Structure 1
């Protein structure tokens, strides 16, 4: 599948965007995680105005922030990845619904801190709740993961999916034939309902990478779970090898990663190993996913 096809697929999981291949309009970014993409035509004059606005935003990203513009959106997206790494499961998946307000401040020379009021959406139960969050982006020669604190989300985090999780766990724990699935979603945006929990698992596992790789200059979504393979169960944990395509809306790059992770209802998702693969345009052909 070509790069163009991958970017189209991002809309199936990602935010509602208005973009072409050269300009992304930050004010048009919606935060609903599973909305479909919308495209618009822009004049050269409009593109220049947007580029100028983005440049001004980056310089003035301290103090009160426009909730619909990139500085607030980038920080708030990190909260989504954080929640999925802590509480995500095949039947519990968190998305960013809306940024209501935001404020940024420099913390000496150590980094920048964002205070956010946001709406978080638990996708599967279609439950929404307003939350407060603090995101700190460290500065330094070595890139460090953002630090996140979330409050006022108690009801959202109490959502009970234990029965569904236990049923899935028991079904695949006793599998005599280990399963491999490719392209979630496929080129037509379709996912077999039976494989939807594994699509969700791939997203949750990918959130560990997206959280770790996020900076003030990124905005990550999952484009596709290119391959997910169940491995032999060890220590009562379901074990998976997974190849995912991510999408950074800011750079329009499609970084590829391989993950080794485990999951059980009691232990949650644990990522054991990650490896970044060459970019699509660096390869003569797509890497094998089997």
Structure 2
């Protein structure tokens, strides 16, 4: 009887531990590949963009800390699928690492398909900072206007750091959408930011940002219309100019946002996906801000 009870107890402990840990399900048709290879970094960067868009905030911006287990699977007549297990850390809390698993699929030039599961700790301190930032922005009588963040020496005014992170969280939507199995993106700079004072619950900004396209080394200029409030993914509309190597005659600085039709979501992220990442947020902030925001304070 004692041995039976011990066996049951051990099984229960094992099941309890499994419920709190992400496990990477590896299909038999996949092969393990080194974590430091270019395809793995490519897939991991897309997963990080997806994570930041859905779970990032002015005080939560996640970075890849270390890739652990990585497998590659060829999907016949469709493309390639990568099964990843990796650690991330919050840029604002460098000593805290979280475990994530993701399946990233690159299918015939379409937008990457991602399922993601992370054991993210909801740190009350970060949530409180987000709330304080939000309330301070709503109380402003003069809108925030800024240029060239960071500057040419890499400096960011500490007061603008939450704005910088929010722009990266918002740009993560663009970078996730535009990434392919060959191209990936990093955000380099905010060229211009305008806050739009409004009476609704969402903060509203327009950004002009520079994205670095790898491996082409092109610098892409994108304009974003962003609405955000705490515990929600931002609503993002955007339009990007073609790189300098291509003709720019078809685009204007504030042209029609890309993908504003039914083929592309415009999400407020009122319910953040947990685990699957299969449902994208649906949007409410579809109207463009009035005016040009050309006047400085």
TM-score (norm 1): 0.71
- 1:235 maps to which residue? 200
What is the Cα deviation at residue 212 of structure 1? 0.2
- Is 1:68 matched up with 2:36? yes
Instruction: State the distance in 2 between where 1:254 and 1:158 align.
Output: 35
Structure 1 residue matching 2:60: 3-state secondary structure: coil
Q: Distance in 1 between matches of 2:37 and 2:76?
A: 24
Please tell me whether residue 116 in structure 1 is matched to residue 81 in structure 2.
Answer: no
Q: Give the Cα separation in 2 of the matches to 1:209 and 1:132.
A: 22
Aligned to 2:101, which of 101, 117, 132? 132
- The residue that corresponds to 2:214 in the other structure is 249
Residue 150 in structure 1 maps to residue 116 in structure 2: yes
Distance 1:182 1:256 in 2: 14
Distance in 1 (alpha carbons) for counterparts of 2:195 and 2:38 = 37
* Structure 1 counterpart of 2:52, from 46, 68, 84: 84
- Spell out structure 1 runs of 4+ moving beyond 4 A: 280-283, 287-290
1:1-290 superposed matches below 5 A: 63-126=31-94, 127-139=96-108, 143-151=109-117, 153-154=118-119, 156-160=120-124, 161-271=126-236, 273-280=237-244, 290=294
The structure whose residues are more often helix, as a share, is 1
Structure 2 residue ranges without an equivalent (≥5):
1-29, 255-292
Larger Rg computed on CA atoms: 2
Measure, in 2, the Cα distance between the counterparts of 1:171 and 1:264.
12
The question of whether the paired residues in 2 share the 8 Å contact of 1:96 and 1:121 is answered with yes
Superposition TM-score, scaled by structure 2 size? 0.69
Counterparts of 1:170 and 1:246, CA distance in 2: 29
1:145/1:213 contact within 8 Å kept: yes
Name the SS of the counterpart of 1:233 in structure 2: coil
Quote the offset at 1:194 in angstroms: 0.2
State the 1:76 CA deviation: 0.7
> Could you list the per-position Cα deviations for residues 188-220 of structure 1 after superposition, in whole angstroms to 9, with x for gaps in the alignment?
100000000000011001000000001110121
Task: Please say which of residues 130-139 and 182-191 is displaced more in the overlay.
Answer: 130-139
Report the Cα offset of residue 124 of structure 1: 0.8
Q: Please give the alpha-carbon distance, in whole angstroms, between the structure 2 residues aligned to 1:172 and 1:281.
A: 39
| Pairwise CA distance, 1:280 | 4.2
Question: What is the rounded CA distance, in whole Å, between the counterparts of 1:223 and 1:132 in structure 2?
Answer: 27
Aligned length in residues? 220
Once the two structures are TM-superposed, the CA of residue 132 in structure 1 deviates from its matched residue by 1.8
Q: Deviations over 1:207-249 (max 9, x none)?
A: 0000000111012111111111101225211000001111122
CA deviations 1:91-124 (Å, max 9, x no partner) are 0101111222311111121222101121111111
Q: Distance in 2 between matches of 1:215 and 1:234?
A: 39
CA contact (8 A) 1:144 1:212 kept: no
